Amino acid sequence: MATPMQYLFENTLAFARQLDREDELRPFRDEFILPQKADGTPKIYFCGNSLGLQPKAAARYVGEEMQRWASLAVEGHFEGNPSWFHYQHTMKDATARLVGALPHEVVIMNTLTVNLHLMLVSFYRPTAQRYKIIMEAGAFPSDQYAVESQVKFHGFDPAAAIVEIAPRQGESTLRTEDIEQTIREHADSLALVMFGGIHYYTGQAFELGRIAAAAKQAGAMVGFDLAHAAGNVPLRLHEWGADFAVWCTYKYLNSGPGGTSGVFVHERHANSPDLPRFAGWWGYREETRFLMQKGFQPMYGADGWQLSCGQILPFAAHRASLEIFDRAGMDKLRQKSMKLTAFLAYLLQQINEQAGEESVRIITPADPRHRGCQLSLIIAKDGKKTFQKLIEAGVVCDWREPDVIRVAPAPLYNTFEEVWQFTSILAKIITSDTVPAQAI
């Protein structure tokens, strides 16, 4: 893994604006709709880790499908470019580039937890000997509930079958060597390693390649929930050899609330009709699908896990965002993201130095390689009150119980000036009982 870049920063507005002038990705900001304050100026939106901003092209793409529905009705399934019948195929190449996969290894369908359950049906096949699932402690509740219910469905006790790996005493994040060691310790009874790509609370980016390698060495299946990783950090799913992965598209992928989801199934499972799965007619062989024959014959690759007709309106919104990502390129987005978070971390440290104490603690890893866009902050005094004041000051971030403010400058539409403005507002809130008028 490459050594992280070293940056030389200054704590001035002029320096932040200079960084923005040097940013070749800056024009992409104009392709998004920015939430406004009462005075008509943009809010500082650092919540793309929860819901990404709306691409301006999304309304046009969705509108085109609404118009096709109005003018063609059912014939829209087969008329137009792309027709609804083939719509999901238009997103394959861009999706594959986004997650480091081959086009036949990915499909856009359903929503995140639905897809997670579908993958667990196929890839969590417990036996009396091998029945355990290893996952990170404190995973997002959707993962916890899905895994718990799947374990119960197979007749096992979650307390015995689910092994959760927690950070060491006094630490906030996991060490990869501890994950690998836990996998080795349970190798004889391990059925599946199921990890998030980035922890929703701490912002830690896990070393998925090493986790996948350890799981395979133990003879277990491996899957990833990339809800906070897709569109955030570079992924190499095919190379890492994961059996499956799932992700949503409404966070960094900016595809709208409750947007559609993505699935990766490694090509070694591409032609496995006997692999257990919950089948639907849209996963049936495309060339003979409308013959309506008995006996499920899955399409090749990830397409064979589809259930129902494509969700065209969510697809259209997602396609608008995917095209932006394809033009920007994940490598360039990653470089800017690392610089944005490094600048943010530097400015937060300046707050502590000026205060003479640790007013703000970052629990996200300091090494940019081990985090994405998000920094998770713990405020020493009155964290929730500080969060509320940030909201009043026109900053959109979020609070996660019990004590974290999540701040996520996204490289497609956030600026270095916004990072500087945010920390300036935060510093004034920390040192004042009221939100300063000039910060609002």
Identify the structural domains of the chain with CATH numbers, from first to last. Answer: 13-55+329-439 (3.90.1150.10), 82-327 (3.40.640.10)
Give the model confidence (pLDDT) of 131-185 as tens digits: 999 999 999 999 999 999 999 999 999 999 999 999 999 999 999 999 999 999 9
Question: For 122-135, what is the mean pLDDT?
Answer: 98
pLDDT value for 404: 97
Please name the amino acid found at residue 200.
Answer: Y
105 by Cβ neighbours in 10 Å (0-12 / 13-18 / 19+) ranks as buried
What's the N-to-C CA distance of the chain in angstroms? Answer: 42
pLDDT of 2 strictly over 60: no
| Residue 306 pLDDT class (50, 70, 90 cuts) | very high
Q: What is the pTM of this model?
A: 0.95
pLDDT value for 5: 62
Here the tokens at position 353 are 């130095």
Residue burial 199-225, b: 16+ Cβ < 10 Å; e: rest:
bbbbbbbbbbbebbbbbbebebbbbbb
pLDDT of 205 strictly over 70: yes
Give the model confidence (pLDDT) of 365-387 as tens digits: 999 999 999 999 999 999 999 99
d(CA 205, CA 369): 8
| Residue 439 pLDDT class (50, 70, 90 cuts) | very low
d(CA 174, CA 196): 12
The pLDDT mean for the chain works out to 95
d(CA 50, CA 48): 5
| Residue 4 pLDDT class (50, 70, 90 cuts) | low
Give the model confidence (pLDDT) of 38-65 as tens digits: 999 999 999 999 999 999 999 999 999 9
| Residue 71 pLDDT class (50, 70, 90 cuts) | very high
